[in-house]
Amino acid sequence: MIIKPKIRGFICVTAHPDGCAAHVQEWIKYVKSKGPIAGPKKVLVIGSSMGYGLASRVTAAFGSGAATIGVFFERPSEEGRPATPGWYNSIAFTQAARAAGLYARNVMGDAFSDDIKAQVIAAIKADLGQVDLVVYSLASPRRTHPKTGVVHKNCIKPIGAPYTNKTVDTDKGIVSEVTIEPATEAEISDVVAVMGGEDWELWIQALADAKVLAPGAQSVAYSYIGPEVTWAIYKNGTIGHAKDDLERAAKAIDAKLKANGNGRAFISVNKALVTQSSSAIPVVPLYISILYKIMKARGTHEGCIEQMQRLFATQLYNGNTAKFDEAGRVRVDDLEMIPEVQDAVRRIWPAVTTENLEAQTDIAGYRSEFLKLFGFGLPGVNYEAEVEPHVPMI
């Protein structure tokens, strides 16, 4: 079939297998171009099929020559419907890794479940013995709790009062005001259950109990703080509460790993980027569009793969000592948050309208990056050609 992008709301419901493979190859090429990283050798990535999780897996494999196990939950192709992009990304990564002589194994299913944890532990024991890095990069709309069976649903809302600010329909290019009603206490608890740190703790506990964590093993989870203009919907909203719980978990896990041969766990606060998750958050796409324009003009813009390569090469490994902020977090959002960049955002924000959106922001860059998530707009891919959407997982 000929696959074209079909956008509904903040998501594209189609994905292009050849385009996704080309995107993964772009990332691999970038990591190789930066030279080897004296880093991990046996890596588990929980949430490995998109965004920062996939970029972490690419960096570990092609920067450090690491064996990797990736955990993800993606939909295969159906009759007349392509698979999700993470499905194609994982196949492309696995093919490239194995072609380079690197071990790569995939475990597909609900990472929140006890069953998937058991499958991963069995794979580590059978093939690797132990892992020396665990990357936790899950983003999910819901979580079925493995102990209670309760289904917790994610929602993006402010807390305490309604929130009104500008947002943009990235597809239609319309700038408007959006008002979001505050979350209930039950909704806040649900978001913490889905996006907080409990599942990360359960993973580390299961791995530790099974004795598959190498002495000195590290674990990292990813977060975002951002500027004040996004705080009501992010840092001080439901997601922010979940991220606070993630930081609580990081401290508990860090203590556990320090007792295991002086390992460590921490949060890496990353830059605002176009991802499936960020596209769903009102206000944030407009902020990213402004940010991209400013950072590209300054020559400091980074995408997922540049962020993760820098994190591994300058903070986690290569003999470097991680630089922590006052809350014990590593900051690779540093170039985003410098005063000159944020002052420029504050100047532009109130002036943006539907009429001047193209001039005041990099909405074109936002759209391009959004489509690349689904394998569209990659150079060298013939999007007019028939392509087979049914690609088996390997």
CATH assignment at residue 42: 3.40.50.720
Question: What does the alpha-carbon distance between residue 224 and residue 238 come to, in Å, rounded to a whole number?
Answer: 13
Phi, psi of 210, rounded to the nearest 5 degrees: -85, -5
CA distances from 119 to 123, 142, 147, 202, 210 (A): 6, 21, 17, 14, 12
Output the pLDDT for position 322.
86
In a domain, 368, yes or no: no
How high is the pLDDT of residue 9? 74
Give the C-alpha separation, 237 to 234, whole Å: 5
Q: Is residue 48 part of a domain?
A: yes
| 3-state class (DSSP) for residue 341 | helix
Quick check: 302 and 23 in contact, CB under 8 A? no
Quickly state the pLDDT bin for 382 (edges 50, 70, 90): very high
Q: Is residue 76 part of a domain?
A: yes
| The pLDDT value given to residue 44 | 98
- Asked whether residue 380 is domain-assigned, the answer is no
The helix or strand, by DSSP H or E, that contains position 7, with its residue range, turns out to be strand 7-8
pLDDT at residue 321 in the model:
82
Instruction: Please give the pLDDT value at position 171.
Output: 87
Return d(Cα 165, Cα 224) in angstroms, integer.
20
Q: Kind and range of the H or E element at 357?
A: helix 357-360
Flag whether 376 is in a domain.
no
Nearest of 199, 257, 197 to residue 73 by alpha carbon: 199
Sole residue written with tokens 């539907």? 354
* Residue 77 placed within a domain: yes
Gap between the Cα atoms of 346 and 27, Å rounded: 32
For 56-113, the pLDDT digits (tens) are 999 999 999 999 999 999 999 988 789 999 999 999 999 999 999 999 999 999 999 9
In this model, does residue 240 exceed pLDDT 80?
yes
What are 325's two structure tokens? 């902020």
Q: What is the pLDDT at residue 352?
A: 97
Query: Using CA atoms, how far apart are residues 358 and 170, in angstroms rounded to an integer?
Result: 11
pLDDT tens column, 124-173: 999 999 999 999 999 899 999 999 999 999 999 999 999 999 999 998 99
Copy the structure tokens of residue 53.
């999780």
- Mind listing the pLDDT tens digit for each residue in 243-284? 999 999 999 999 999 998 999 999 999 999 998 778 878 889
Q: Give me the percent of the chain exceeding a pLDDT of 70.
A: 100
Cα separations in angstroms, 264 against 108, 152, 247: 27, 29, 13
The residue among 323 and 296 whose pLDDT is bigger is: 296
Cα–Cα distance for residue pair 60/231, rounded to 1 Å: 32
10 pLDDT higher than 90: no
As for how many domains the chain has, the answer is 1
Are 202 and 241 contacting, i.e. CB atoms less than 8 angstroms apart?
no
* Secondary element (H or E) of residue 16: none
Is 119 within a domain?
yes
Read off the amino acid at residue 336.
Answer: E
Active-site amino acid positions: 234
What DSSP assignment string belongs to 43-105? EEEES-SSHHHHHHHHHHHHHH--EEEEEE--PPPBTTBPPPHHHHHHHHHHHHHHHTT--EE
- The whole-model pTM stands at 0.96
> Can you give the pLDDT at residue 282?
84
Could you tell me if residue 394 is inside a domain?
Answer: no
Range of the domain at 135: 7-156+190-282+301-333
Structural element, H or E, at residue 234: none
CA distances from 8 to 11, 13, 17, 176, 376 (A): 6, 7, 19, 18, 15
